[in-house]
Chains A and B, each alone.
Chain A
Amino acid sequence: MADAVLSTRSLEACYGDFQALFGVSIDVYPEDVIAIIGANGAGKTTLMRSITGLLVNKPQMVTWKGQAIGALRADQIARLGIAMVPEGRQLFQSLSVEENLIIGGQVGRKGAWSLGKVYELFPVLKERRNVPATSLSGGQQQMVSIGRALMSNPDILLFDEISLGLAPIIIKSIYEALPTIIGEGMSAIIVEQDIVKAVSVSSRVYCLQEGRVSLEGRPQDLTRDAISAAYFGV
């Protein structure tokens, strides 16, 4: 197997005195799509914040293509090709749809994605390019958020709870579009509470429970009972 592009090693992340992760180690290989599942408060979002640099850790705790990036700032990590579709979409409300997309592309990484390509993927955004991004419907906002992350031509894309607060039909269409979005040469981490959805698109699954990895493996090797036990800790 090739070397992992992204790894965390014994990641211990804290918010002040509160420790949210206890020695979490995960690996993402090239073109790998991994799912991270777990209940509320299991540490999924903390893990995402640690990888993207919003939470600063010890350098060796996160490595990217062999480089220790645990202590880098978020803007430095973004330039390396790690992009995130954050939980709750979090669009810039003072920016138009198009400005939100442009700002995603300003890290200046070359690649397949451009404004035109994003509009090709989500034609509705082109029609509404000049309206404030937060005036769109939830599903359309999620498209902007995904497009914004794609604009940086990332090597790995992190999706944090992309189905949260969206109608089932929208969730379905987003998951159908995922294989197109996670194109060739790109890896992805999908964080979900919806286990079935997450497992259906991933090649490997990590389950977090109270800040620790409680289960990992390929979806076909994991039984429903094992996942339940790892998820709920019963």
Chain B
Amino acid sequence: MDWVNAIVQGILLGGLYALFAAGLSLIFGVMRLVNIAHGDFIVLAAFLGLTITSTLGLSPLVALALVVPVMAAIGYVLQRGILNRTLGEDILPPLMVTFGLSVIIQNGLLEIYSADPQKMSAGSLETASLSLPGDLNVGVLPILMFVVAVAVIAGLQWIFYRSSLGRAFRAVSDNQDIAQLMGLNKAHVFGMAMALSLAVVGIAGVFLGIRTSFDPSIGPGRLIFGFEAVIIGGLGNLWGTLVGGIILGVSQNIGAQINPGWQLLAGHLAFLFVLAVRPRGLFPRID
């Protein structure tokens, strides 16, 4: 039964990893930008949630209503103000600049919040659980996170393939010059993509902060989980990213079940295995 439990918990954890990864996948798909600071933005969102919950006395889930738009605004301004200037033939400048941002965010958070681990409290929701047949107990919060992750992926999928914004994303991704001839301002379209990416980061950050304790240094670790989920699932495929997150979560929990020290190792091994067998991921969309 322990094994079944580990797998179920792993699947639910995979939802959170998919939330880490979805924003990365989105901006890579639209503008071929790899955001090294992605994990640090997740942590920034968690601290933002912490500040809002502690000063306004709101529940973290209500705080989402503030964190998400603030993160989206940061994303838009960041893209228009800085990142658009780095995009071009050379892939190195955006890597350098987002790496620099990563360092700045980590140290900025350290300055403001110190290195002490923090946590957001979601009250009774954290301990509520559902009894499933076969002696399984599943926390309501992990289920909620998973459901939100699926909803976010479905929402992004809808935006990407059914809305005019998504049409603009795909057009700019296909051919930037011709997209401009259609009256699309690519600086704005990229800004919207980054806004959407960081909106998802806002959700991911708040859930991270409810689920575990966090401090300013954990961003790069979340970035790795996000990267691994994207690569396992295949570039440019959002549902694939969800599957990638689930594979990562399940492997980690199975590893932890064998030996508590093997949790992270098992996840990385699963990633390496997929990379060796299917270098382009399980369900690639982008060549």
- Spell out A's residues near B (CB within 8 Å): 52-54, 73-75, 78-79, 83-84, 86, 90, 92-95, 99, 102-104, 106-108, 148, 152
Determine which residue in B170, B171, B181, B183 has the highest number of CB atoms from chain A within 10 A of its CB, and name it: B181
Which partner residue on chain A sits nearest B171 by CB separation?
A92
Pairs of residues from A and B, 3 with the lowest C-beta to C-beta distance, nearest first: A107-B183, A74-B180, A78-B183
B126 within 8 A of A: no
Tell whether, in the assembled complex, residue A95 and residue B181 are in contact, meaning their CB atoms are under 8 Å apart: no
Please determine whether B182 and A104 come into contact, CB atoms closer than 8 angstroms: yes
Q: Are A86 and B178 in contact (CB under 8 A)?
A: yes
Evaluate contact between A75 and B173: CB separation under 8 angstroms: no
- Interface 0/1 of B173-189, CB less than 8 Å to A: 11101111111111000
- Structural contact, B180 and A152, CB atoms closer than 8 A: no
Bound together, the chains give a CA A78 to CA B183 distance in angstroms of: 5
A95 to B185 alpha-carbon distance, docked (Å): 18
Closest CB-CB distance, B178 to chain A, in whole Å? 5
* Contacting pair A78 B180 (CB below 8 A): yes
Any A CB within 8 A of the CB of B127: no
Report B's interface with A, CB cutoff 8 A. 164, 167-168, 170-171, 173-175, 177-186
Chain B residues lying within 8 Å of A103, measured Cβ to Cβ, are 167-168, 171, 179, 182, 184
- Which residues of chain B have C-beta atoms less than 8 A from A84's C-beta? 181
Given contact pairs A94-B174, A95-B174, A102 touches B181 in the complex (Cβ within 8 A):
no
Please state if A93 and B177 are interface contacts (CB–CB under 8 Å).
no
Residue of B nearest to A49 (CB): B177
A105 CB, min distance to chain B CBs, angstroms: 9
Contact B171–A95 (Cβ < 8 Å)? yes
- Known A95-B167, A99-B167, A106-B164; contact A73-B174, beta-carbon cutoff 8 A: no
A182 and B180 alpha carbons, distance in the complex (Å): 22
B181 and A54 contact, CB distance less than 8 A? yes
Min CB gap B177→A, angstroms: 5
In the bound complex, CA of A99 to CA of B183 (Å):
15
- Sampled A-B contacts (5; CB under 8 Å): A75-B186, A78-B180, A92-B170, A102-B167, A106-B184
Using Cβ atoms and an 8 Å threshold, which residues of chain B touch A90? Answer: 175, 178
In the complex, chain A residues whose CB is within 8 Å of the CB of B173: 94
Q: A86-B178, A90-B178, A92-B175 are in contact. Are A75 and B184 (CB under 8 A)?
A: yes
A37 to chain B, nearest CB (A): 23
Contacts of A92 in B (CB 8 A): 170-171, 174-175, 178-179
* 11 other A-B residue contacts (CB within 8 Å) besides A73-B185, A90-B178: A54-B177, A73-B180, A74-B181, A75-B183, A75-B186, A83-B181, A92-B175, A93-B174, A103-B167, A107-B183, A152-B182
Q: Tell me, in angstroms, the Cα distance from A233 to B95 when the chains sit together.
A: 48
Residues of B within 8 A of A75 (CB): 180-186
A73: chain B residues at CB < 8 Å are 180, 185
Q: How far is the CA of A45 from the CA of B69 in the complex (A)?
A: 43
Complex: A152 Cα to B173 Cα, angstroms: 21
From B173, which residue of chain A is reached at the shortest CB distance? A94
Nearest CB on B from A179, distance (A)? 24
- Hey, which chain A residues are within 8 Å of B184, CB to CB? 75, 103, 106
Distance (whole angstroms) from the CB of B237 to the closest CB of chain A: 13
Which residues on A sit within 8 Å (CB–CB) of B171? 92, 94-95, 103
**Residues on the A chain within 8 Å of B174, using CB:** 92-95
B191 to chain A, nearest CB (A): 13
- Establish whether residues B183 and A152, one from each chain, have CB atoms under 8 Å apart when the complex forms: yes
Alpha-carbon distance between A71 and B184 when the two chains are bound, in angstroms: 17
Please give, as numbers and ranges, the residues of chain A lying within 8 Å of B167 by CB-CB distance: 95, 99, 102-103
**A contact residues around B175 at 8 Å (CB):** 90, 92
CB distance from B65 to the nearest CB of A (A): 31
Closest Cβ–Cβ distance, residue A4 to chain B (whole Å): 22
> How far is A107 from B180 in the complex, measured between Cα atoms in Å?
11
**Which residue on B lies nearest to A79, using beta carbons?**
B183
Distance in Å from the Cβ of B126 to the closest Cβ of chain A? 42
Q: Which residue of A has the minimal Cβ distance to B184?
A: A75
Least CB distance, A82 to chain B, in whole angstroms: 9
B187 to chain A, nearest CB (A): 9
C-alpha gap A152/B186 in the complex (Å): 18
Q: How far is the CA of A86 from the CA of B164 in the complex (A)?
A: 22
Distance (Å) between the CB of B193 and the closest chain A CB? 14
A86 to B185, CA, bound (A): 18
Contacts of A108 in B (CB 8 A): 183
Set of chain A residues within 8 Å of B181, measured between Cβ atoms: 52, 54, 74-75, 78, 83-84, 86
Assembly CA distance A86 to B175 (angstroms): 12
